[in-house]
Structure 1
Amino acid sequence: MREVRIGRGRAAALETTPAGPAGWLSLGRRLGSEVPRPGAGSTADLWSTLATLGAADLQLARAVEPHLDALAILDEADAAGFDVSVGAEATWGVFAAEGPGVRLEAERWGNGWLLNGTKPWCSLAGQLDRALVTAWVDDRCRALFAVDLHAPGVSAAAGPGAWSPRGLVDVVSLPVEMSDVPAEPVGPPEWYLRRDGFAWGGMGVAAVWYGGAVGVARRLAQPRGRERDQVSHVHLGTADASLAAARALLAEAASAVDAGFAGGDDGASWALRVRAVVADACEEVLRAAEHDLGPGPQVAEPDHAARLADLRLYLRQHHAERDLAALGRVVEDTGGSW
């Protein structure tokens, strides 16, 4: 997977995108009509685009990736025979996280569905038009629904300190309250988690992490007036080797997706493996940059300090040792990919 494969037109659009959620989502709308969907034969191009966005600005990538993922999910639903209304030019989010003490429930109402409760970790809900949201249909399973975020009964539960991070500052992620909100089902219960694209989307997020680490490594590669010693070269070499390993596995995974070898249980194991390797590579790059550059750039270079904070927070979507344990169970049951 090459580092930049988004084409001159898209690269120019990236360079001229205004900062802030409105500009990022505008770029997302444009890319939604241009980039390939995962599994359609050009998955590497899609992931390279996501990585390029992450290398340029991880907040921008964090805003665009869910929109592209939502469009891929809607296409997958359409291919599976599920008819879903898609608003023209709408910006989309995907809200599938769960949290302690809160719950979003779906109940039938006439020929349709209503959503009630709280959905945590809804990024940019105040700026988006629509979202794909998971909700509990009973005590055992969840289903996916399309929701108009401008509908009556939808409100972001913003309170004091609700969003006060040091990273991804402008990608505000808040709980959203829903009260009798009409919703359109997207597939049967559990379809969202069982479809092949669930794993592919998870690997797409890893491509964004990789891009964020590339952005950090670019600063590490710039001595800026200081002479490198042997230890500095070790840090730079560590970053390069880590990124090369992550990039190679992303490329291999993209080929597996397009060849039809990353569906079902195979797709789940691919996603666990890719996310683990990429997350480790990103943490190696963060460590190398901090050990080599010291505190100076973190206090005197706002862009670099923001890159570090953005990447640290975004990486926590990976569940670290718990995801490694899940991968270990897969290896125990099926044997390793090696």
Structure 2
Amino acid sequence: MTDDHARAGARPVELGATTTEQQRELTALSEQATAAAGDVRAALDLARDVGGRLPHPGSGSTAFLWSALASVAAADLTVARVLEPHLDAHAILGQAGEEIGDGTWGVFAAEGPGEPLRATPSGSSYVLDGRKHWCSLGGDLDHALISAWVGQERQLFAVDLDHPDVTAVAGTWVARGLTAVDSGPLDLDGVDARAVGVPGWYLERPGFAWGAIGVAAVWFGGAVGVARRLVAASSTREPDQVALMHLGAVDARLHGARAVLQQAAAALDAGNLAGPAGWRAALRVREVVADACEDVLRRAAHALGPGPLATDEAHARRVADLELYLRQWHAERDQASLGRQVLDDPGSRW
């Protein structure tokens, strides 16, 4: 990686106007993320440090929050993958009026194959039994918000991951992207848990859609990191017409993705993304951003050739990380969901 590219990795990504203090915060975050690149322990320290300082979505500073996520992601996606759910957990607990406490947090709410995780009432609390899939850093975090089934409904629970009957299942994470962020399953055997919200609240609350847009801000930052490698290549080799074509197309795609994130942040802070409007906005933003990111990856591969993928560790890791991270987008299934909303809600049409 060239010195210019390393400096670019530590440059903030701004999704809106920022104050001088916010610019300093974004610069410091970018530098911290660059220093922590690929190091989960350092990323956890960063998350612990900034978790209480960054705003929640919808608090009036959403563009700054998403700028922070994008800035970290442009520096390193492993660090962003640690920070994003930690901040999401803080926002969820805040929205539920729950105590946040110390330590690092994850959010494990995806469903996997087989029998789901079950929650059983036990006095004034619950116990969890079963396997929970897709638990990123389940063996490294202090706490997690975990969804489980109570009868026929899903409910969210706060869990102390230091409980002796929480076991991280080893050997299942074989990913080539985000290799340090083991996202294998956890087995829970009679683990004490505190309910966060009533059954169904986690998925129905407005913040569910807002957090989904925050993930798109991370994807955007990752694509900016790839695009910066494309720019860095021009300092070592005069770009020909094809290289300039790809660079111009990448600039346009990133401009469009930035614009929809900025618009969503403004609408959220204005109180316009509650209810169905919030989820419709999330589907639209994630579609635009994910499509832009995939095009940036494709064009960078065409413009740069195999060299950086074979010899530039930071670039090769960033590409693999972003390709895996983008699979949190449900692609054609999300497109179909958005299409259904277009038909069901004529007022949302163009």
TM-score of the pair, normalised by structure 2: 0.91
Q: Which segment is superposed worse, 182-191 or 216-225?
A: 216-225
Instruction: Give the conservation status (yes or no) of the 8 Å contact 2:166–2:189.
Output: yes
Question: Unaligned 5+ residue runs, structure 2?
Answer: 1-12
For 1:117, the aligned partner's letter is: G
Distance 1:86 1:300 in 2: 43
Question: Unaligned 5+ residue runs, structure 1?
Answer: 79-83
Alignment counterpart, residue 111 of structure 1, candidates 112, 124, 128: 124
For 1:8, the aligned partner's letter is: R
Distance 2:281 2:292 in 1: 16
Cα displacement string for residues 65-119 of structure 1 (whole angstroms, at most 9, x for unaligned residues): 00000000000001xxxxx3433x2110000011111410001112220000000
- Tell me how far 1:14 sits from its aligned partner: 4.2
Q: Could you say what secondary structure the match of 2:146 adopts?
A: strand
Pair 1:176-2:181 in alignment = no
Structure-2 residue corresponding to 1:136: 149
Structure-2 residue corresponding to 1:81: none
Pair 1:86-2:100 in alignment = yes
Pair 1:306-2:317 in alignment = yes
- Tell me how far 1:125 sits from its aligned partner: 1.0
Distance 1:7 1:101 in 2: 47
Cα displacement string for residues 37-76 of structure 1 (whole angstroms, at most 9, x for unaligned residues): 1001010000000000000001100100000000000000
Cα displacement string for residues 314-338 of structure 1 (whole angstroms, at most 9, x for unaligned residues): 0000010110000111111113452
Q: Percent of aligned positions with the same letter in both sequences? A: 56
Count of paired positions: 329
Alignment counterpart, residue 45 of structure 1, candidates 55, 61, 64: 64
Instruction: Give the conservation status (yes or no) of the 8 Å contact 1:35–1:46.
Output: yes
Structure-2 residue corresponding to 1:197: 207
Q: Could you say what secondary structure the match of 2:84 adopts?
A: helix
Distance 2:104 2:175 in 1: 24
Instruction: Give the conservation status (yes or no) of the 8 Å contact 1:102–1:120.
Output: no
Distance 1:150 1:214 in 2: 37
Alignment counterpart, residue 95 of structure 2, candidates 62, 73, 76: 76
Distance 1:35 1:62 in 2: 16
| RMSD between superposed Cα atoms in Å | 1.5
Q: 1:10 to 1:218 in 2, by over 3 A?
A: closer
Distance 1:254 1:12 in 2: 22
Structure-2 residue corresponding to 1:55: 74
Alignment counterpart, residue 158 of structure 1, candidates 170, 173, 177: 170
For 2:224, the aligned partner's letter is: V
